[in-house]
Structure 1
Amino acid sequence: MTKPIPVFDGHNDVLLRLYKSPSTDPVADFLGGEEAGHIDLKKARAGGLAGGLFALYSPSPRTASTTESTTGALSRPLPPPLPMDEARASAAGELAILVRIERASQGAVAICRSTAEIKAAMARGAFAAVLHIEGADAIDDKLDFLDVLYAAGLRSLGPVWSRPNIFGHGVPFRFPSSPDIGEGLTAAGENLVRVCDEMKILIDLSHINEKGFWDVARLSKAPLVATHSNAHALCPSPRNLTDKQLAAIRDTGGMVGLNFATGFLRPDGSMRPDTDIALMVQHLDYLLEKLGENHVGLGSDFDGATVPQTIGSAAGLPVLFEALRAKGYSDTLLTKIASENWLNLLARTIG
């Protein structure tokens, strides 16, 4: 059996899954492997997943109803802003799980704060975890909590998830739809972007609306990055990127990570596990055409989305690479998509 290609992934939600788990020991579940979920250390090793951005995400209470037709048409209102104390409670709980995983792993998992640390961890066979926050709802307008999170290892930040907060506005889960929805960054959001630039914190544009995207593009001197988004031309979800947005990312030397979520892959927007991975290849082909081979990677959304059942979990990553080989992707290009492009991008953002 061919040894899996080492992968650095742009986005996962395993910490949220572990935080919400009914298990009495989610740390042991992650380190020892479990049946549930997309990522644990056993599945990661089986599939070649060597590291990635670990999201802290604060869920909204389930108050809004969703309507979905058989064609995939979706309408879900934006959740209301999340109170800061609720956002901080879940963010702190998820961060504690990652810290405990690192401590209990006996060197098998490392929280990394620089690209050099990521490379060193991967070289010794440790899982390289970089801390990300998906929606800055837990951060105050004075940015005191940003400093706290940075000290804990935070190196990547999405100003908004798909709900408004004090920094800006996200896109709703609506299909089909343009990302050109609502207002952009607030004054506090503009300040957050400037401070993230100064602190060398990557700014993730995956959930922000189009006005907010262009606000970040105007303010930030860093490469534009969408850690887990796809092509709007192929799947008209507001979570996906228009050709104009892709051009802006390309022009700054930025990066897009392919999202495995079936609702952001399929032209009908349906969340179906029987989705053909040929659609993943199609989106990668398109992103490579628009961005170039040095600016595309993976942003799986493992543990946060319905992914094609032929992949199933991190252990199934080699299935995607075999499909790409069959399409004619060279080993050099596969290595770039798997990890090299992310590592180069991170060297130019977080250092």
Structure 2
Amino acid sequence: MPVAIFDGHNDTLLQRILRRGTERDQDFFTATQANHIDFPRAQAGGLIGGLFAMFVPSQTKQDFSKPFNPSDPANYARVDQQEALAFTMAMAAEAFRLTRASNGRMKVCRSATEIRQAMHDEVMAISLHIEGAEAIDPDFHALEALHEMGLRSLGPVWSRGNIFAEGVPMRFNSGPDIGNGLSDTGKALIKACNELKILVDLSHLNEKGFWDVASLSDAPLVASHSNAHAICPNARNLTDKQLGAIRESKGLVGVNFHVAFLREDGGYARDTPLDLIVRHTAYLIEALGEDHVGLGSDFDGCLLPADIGDVSGLPNLIDAYRAAGFGTDLINKIAHENWLNVLDKTQK
């Protein structure tokens, strides 16, 4: 049996919406090569659940069969709130359609307790997450409604600005100290998330925004899919000072598998070795402690190392951890226990 993995970030719901009606619109319950995650390959890889992101791209009508171009300014244009809300609702509906079609094999979970029960019952757990809060209005009506639907995690921004904050660009050889911090509306959003027990995700937030959240939030600081800036100096990664704040809050960082956030040269190469994921993981464990590191793969939203390939390749990473001397207890913490514990602490 593969090690059970609860993953902190995927873009599977987005890909299913974008590919609807195309030749890559595949049955989720049949193994395919159309994307990184489907149900049979998830079972083969040990994926028992995760934070399923609802991200609204700037260009919802573009041809997403082509690779994402991180240098195209059109990919960072701001999105209208009503358009973003409609697109987010489509992704939430897709999550519920999948659970209905699963015949009890999948469930939208609203707490760590429900996720643990789903693991026990061998049911895949979907925890709904918003990546970039463009769908949320300034009065937070949409936040309340989405919370009732099951939203339990929210990143105020993606790598673009909105009414809440500034996103950090995916820029190599750069720090995250770019732009202003949270707006007054953004500060109110953090307080509203604390009141509703919605986890605030710091991945994609610039440095000033990070410190604003750190000063305002009463919950553990969490970056769902970010790596160590000391190893890969991409603005999307976390500095040692930021890691210190996350450690002090007893928060968590999920290791991102995207090759450009792993490599010292920031390159886009599929032959990136798994040893680099191990190296980032070991660095984060040293900085945060072994109870505060998880996985945040970015499946269906990134370029993966060839030795993982898709979700069915997760056992290869577990083997790389073992080869590096990670013991069974530590691997289980990284694979799922630390995520469930930080969700528990956020929801209390």
1:5-47 deviation per Cα after TM superposition (whole angstroms, max 9, x unaligned): 0000000000011011144799971122322111111111000
Q: Quick one: distance in 2 between partners of 1:236 and 1:227?
A: 18
**Residue 340 of structure 2 aligns with which residue?**
343
Instruction: Pick from 203, 206, 218 the counterpart of residue 206 of structure 1.
Output: 203
Q: Secondary structure at the match of 2:126?
A: strand
**Residue 183 of structure 1 aligns with which residue?**
180
Q: Quick one: distance in 2 between partners of 1:41 and 1:75?
A: 33
Match of 1:49, as an amino acid? Answer: L
Q: Secondary structure at the match of 2:227?
A: coil
Match of 1:227, as an amino acid? Answer: S
**Residue 56 of structure 1 aligns with which residue?**
54
Q: Secondary structure at the match of 1:212?
A: helix
1:196-229 deviation per Cα after TM superposition (whole angstroms, max 9, x unaligned): 0011000000000000000000000100000000
**Residue 67 of structure 2 aligns with which residue?**
none
Q: Quick one: distance in 1 between partners of 2:124 and 2:26?
A: 15
**Residue 125 of structure 1 aligns with which residue?**
122
Q: Quick one: distance in 1 between partners of 2:72 and 2:215?
A: 30
Q: Quick one: distance in 2 between partners of 1:164 and 1:283?
A: 28
Q: Quick one: distance in 2 between partners of 1:24 and 1:290?
A: 44
Shift of 1:76: 5.5
Is 1:21 aligned to 2:22, yes or no? no
Shift of 1:91: 0.8
Shift of 1:94: 1.0
**Residue 80 of structure 2 aligns with which residue?**
83
**Residue 40 of structure 1 aligns with which residue?**
38
Cα RMSD (Å): 1.8
Contact 2:26-2:32 within 8 A present in 1 as well: no
Match of 2:281, as an amino acid? Answer: L
**Residue 69 of structure 1 aligns with which residue?**
none
Q: Secondary structure at the match of 2:128?
A: strand
Q: Quick one: distance in 2 between partners of 1:32 and 1:194?
A: 42
- Residue ranges of structure 1 left out of the alignment (5+ in a row): 64-73
Compute the TM-score of the two structures, normalised by the length of structure 1: 0.94
Q: Quick one: distance in 2 between partners of 1:8 and 1:111?
A: 14
1:332–1:116 Cα change, 3 Å: same
1:115-143 deviation per Cα after TM superposition (whole angstroms, max 9, x unaligned): 11000111100000100000000100000
Instruction: Pick from 289, 313, 322 the counterpart of residue 319 of structure 2.
Output: 322
Contact 2:232-2:265 within 8 A present in 1 as well: yes
1:214–1:269 Cα change, 3 Å: same
Contact 1:27-1:97 within 8 A present in 2 as well: no
Q: Quick one: distance in 2 between partners of 1:271 and 1:13?
A: 19
1:26–1:142 Cα change, 3 Å: farther
1:45-84 deviation per Cα after TM superposition (whole angstroms, max 9, x unaligned): 0000001000000001289xxxxxxxxxx85658232111
Identity between Structure 1 and Structure 2 (%) = 54
Alignment of 1:1-351 (within 5 A): 3-23=1-21, 29-61=27-59, 77=73, 79-351=76-348
Aligned length: 340
- Residue ranges of structure 2 left out of the alignment (5+ in a row): 62-69
Q: Quick one: distance in 1 between partners of 2:55 and 2:184?
A: 23
Contact 1:11-1:228 within 8 A present in 2 as well: yes
